[in-house]
Amino acid sequence: MKTSIEPFKIKMVEHIKQTTREERLEYLKEAHYNVFLIRAENILIDFLTDSGTGAMSDQQWAAIMTGDEAYAGSKSFFHFEETVQQITSFKHIIPTHQGRAAERILFEIVLKNKKGQKIPNNTHFDTTRANIEYHDTEAVDLVIPEGKIPECDHPFKGNMDLGKLEEFLDKNHKHVPLGMITITNNSGGGQPVSMENIKETARLYRKYKIPFFIDCCRFAENAYFIKQREKGYGEKTILEIAREMFSYADGCAMSAKKDGMVNIGGFLAMNDDNLAMHARNLLILTEGFPSYGGLAGRDLDAMAVGLQEVLDENYLRYRVRTAEYMGERLLDAGVSIIRPTGGHAVYIDAAAFYPQIPAHQFPGQALVCELYKNGGIRGVEIGSLMFGKTDKITGDMIPASMELVRLAFPRRVYTQSHFDYAIETIIETFKEREKVRGLKITWEAPFLRHFSVHMVPLE
């Protein structure tokens, strides 16, 4: 059996502060029971997000030192462009400061201020959805039904529902200026999409002459799942699989804060010359000249090296195995999670964890608070606090479809003993589940309330 040890050793360390339970109770209270408002220095293990939180390698830091800061046509840009072209084969590579900047430009150039349009995807990520809705356009989610059932085991739970997509395009194709797929499906639990499904999705878009863009933030994790799970790919390299995935599309949008292995960066890539010209014009307006796009030259070099390193199979095995390992141990202890585990996170089913807490008392947030109190661990609620809506007539909350807590893993940051500690904390918290009560909101913002909400525990 191939081992999955951390495929790196550590040559620089960052101190993490140990806090006492009493201190954490105080920090939590000061933060109004909202972990977004706790200072990061008071967190022991931070699983808030995998976005931009990874550790760069010595090779990336070395590339940073030799970055070329020329305003136009820097060496760093060409290094970056060649790397992205090698992986995606797209003709035009446009750097941006992060994923949503690429999305903003893409939607502005394809939607052109026309109203009443629709963009299908397996599941739109929040920023993608928000950037589409900003243009009075509908963001349509068409993931397979299995993708919405937490306990349903399926190798490619991120797949597009091809039947539904065909029906949708049949009816709406005149109002669809762009078709998308997200790999891996972040909002659906980091679940992969199969090569077959990418290919068939592309075929349907092409049938209606709709340009096809991949939201490819976790393309390498997706490629690794294809290698593991899809017939005919076991002997191929991650690069070969990635190249095939991109070969079916007309372009892609990337947040390099994920599989780019950097703390900031992203890009937009495409084949169409005219579209690329419009994208570069907008880029100059808001991000910067097309050879740096809102980044320093050194950032482009770090991204180029990160995009090479993420293709390493030993790294991807360690990455995917980490989530799997945590998932197995939690399931053994009786904790319900989304199955199978995806690439970048473990999602705990908080409604099953705290059956005594109804949705309007936020079982997910109760679990987030307990994990912080018990072990200094920070996760994030993805449930009714984040997605609950208010019934306009009765004023009651309409709960989210699931009450989840996401533990997202920074890349190359934590070791197995950090994960063992986190697992033990979750299991201890599970053993004391009966005593725990929910929370109520004392103040909330008109939208995206979870970031700034104030809460108090119910007695």
Residues that bind ligand PLP (CB under 6 A): 51, 98-100, 125, 127-128, 182, 186, 215, 217, 255, 257-258, 266
Distance CA(135)–CA(149), nearest Å, equals 31
Q: Which pair of tokens denotes residue 48?
A: 């808030």
CB of residue 105 to ligand PLP, shortest distance in Å = 12
Place of tokens 């003709």: 91
Nearer to ligand PLP, 57 or 255 (CB): 255
In the complex, least distance from residue 169 CB atom to ligand PLP, rounded to whole angstroms: 22
Nearest 5°: CA angle at 64, between 59 and 65? 100
Question: Strands, DSSP E only, in 210-265?
Answer: 212-215, 251-255
Strand pairing report for 454-457 and 345-349: unpaired
In angstroms, what is the minimal distance from the CB of 217 to ligand PLP? 4
Is residue 346 within 8 A of residue 379, CB to CB? The reply is: no
* Closer CB to ligand PLP, 343 or 376, in the complex: 343
φ and ψ at 441, to 5 degrees? -85, 135
Instruction: Between 128 and 191, name the residue whose CB sits nearer to ligand PLP.
Output: 128
180 vs 330 by CB, closer to ligand PLP: 180
- Residue closer to ligand PLP, measured from CB, 264 or 397: 264
Considering the complex, what minimum distance in angstroms separates the CB of residue 121 from ligand PLP? 9
Q: Report in angstroms how near the CB of residue 405 gets to ligand PLP at its nearest.
A: 18
For residues 297 and 266, the answer to whether their CB atoms sit within 8 Å is no
Nearest distance in Å: CB 130, ligand PLP: 10
Cβ contact 450:405 at 8 Å: no
Smallest Cα–Cα separation from 325: which of 420, 399, 406, 403? 420
Least distance between ligand PLP and beta carbon 110 (Å): 16
The dihedral sign for the CA sequence 139, 140, 144, 147: positive
What backbone torsions phi and psi does residue 270 show, to the nearest 5 degrees? Answer: -165, 165
Rank residues 90 and 267 by Cβ distance to ligand PLP and give the closer one. Answer: 267
Q: Which is nearer to ligand PLP, 265 or 363 (CB)?
A: 265
Provide, rounded to whole angstroms, the least separation between the CB of residue 191 and ligand PLP: 12
Cα distance between residue 187 and residue 401, in whole Å: 13
User: How far apart are CB 126 and ligand PLP at their closest, in Å?
Assistant: 8
Q: How far is the CB of 378 from ligand PLP (least distance, A)?
A: 18
Choose between 98 and 137: whose C-beta lies nearer to ligand PLP.
Answer: 98
- d(CA 34, CA 28) in angstroms, rounded, equals 7
Amino acid at 86: Q
Give the span between the Cα atoms of 90 and 106, in whole angstroms: 15
Q: Name the residue number minimizing CB distance to ligand PLP.
A: 99
d(CA 372, CA 370): 5
DSSP-derived secondary structure letter, 98:
S
Nearest residue (CB) to ligand PLP, 34 versus 122: 122
Q: By the 8 A CB rule, do 156 and 229 touch?
A: yes
Q: Is the dihedral of CA 258, 262, 266, 267 positive or negative?
A: negative
Report the largest interatomic distance among the alpha carbons of the chain, rounded to a whole angstrom: 62
Q: Half-sphere exposure of 354 toward its Cβ, with a 13 Å CA cutoff? A: 29
State the virtual CA torsion across 309, 48, 429, 338 in degrees, nearest 10: -70
Residue closer to ligand PLP, measured from CB, 98 or 197? 98
Residue 171 CB, nearest approach to ligand PLP (Å)? 26
| Residue 257 vs 406, nearer CB to ligand PLP | 257
Nearest to 384 by CA among 406, 370, 399: 399
